[in-house]
Structure formats: C-alpha cells, structure tokens
Amino acid sequence: MTLRLYLAIGAGAVLAVALVTGFLSLQTTVAKARSADALQERVEALEASHERLSAEAIRRAEFDSAIRAARTTVHLNLDKVTHEDPVARDYLGERIPDVVREAARTP
C-alpha cells in the first residue's frame, strides 16, 4: 500500500467521524428544541392558569367583603330591633323548633 492510500483512508475516517459527530450534534439540538417547545407550552399553560386563579381570588375577596358587609348589616338591624321593640325581642329570643330546623336543612 502506498502512502496516498493511507492518507485517503485516514481522511475518510476523519470525515466519517466528523459526519457522525455532526449528526449526533444535530440530533441533540433537535431534541433540545423539542423540549424547549414543550416547556414553552407548559409555561403558557401555567400562565393562563395563574391568570384564572388570580381572577378567582379577586372575585372571592370581593364576594367575601360583600358577605361580611351584609352579615354586619343584618346583625346591626337585629340588635337595633331587639333593643327598641320588646315584642320583637321576645319573638327573636324563642328557640326555633327542631322540625323547622330539619326542614330548612334538607334540600
């Protein structure tokens, strides 16, 4: 064998190694790009979920404050009536019969 043949075989081997390395690098890059796309979709889904949960938290806070205000108004009105009207005080002081309580609880 001549020197040229050895050089050609060596150059072919180097070229083959370079091609295999390039192919593996390309596969790695493609895999990273696919995982980046999947992660981007997951981030977008989480952002949408966060927005929905934030809106729900704000809505519940508003409802809670409205319920507290309504409850306070009812308690104040009851206190006012029980102090001003003895008949209403006696009526409100009576125990609600158990039959009525049970009827109110069942749907």
Give the DSSP per-residue string, 17-61: HHHHHHHHHHHHHHHHHHHHHHHHHHHHHHHHHHHHHHHHHHHHH
Assign residue 65 a region: left if phi > 0, alpha if psi is -120 to 50, beta otherwise?
A: alpha
Which single residue is written with the structure tokens 């790695």? 28
pLDDT grade, residue 98 (50/70/90)? Answer: confident
CB distance 105 to 96 below 8 Å: no
In Å, how far are 9, 41, 44, 59, 67 from 55, measured between CA atoms? 69, 21, 17, 6, 18
The domain spans of the chain are 3-105
Tell me: pLDDT of 85 over 70: yes
6 pLDDT higher than 70 = yes
Tokens, residue 31: 């895999």
Q: For position 67, what pLDDT does the model report?
A: 94
pLDDT score recorded for residue 107: 67
The model carries a pTM of 0.45
Q: State phi, psi for 2 to the nearest 5 degrees.
A: -95, 170
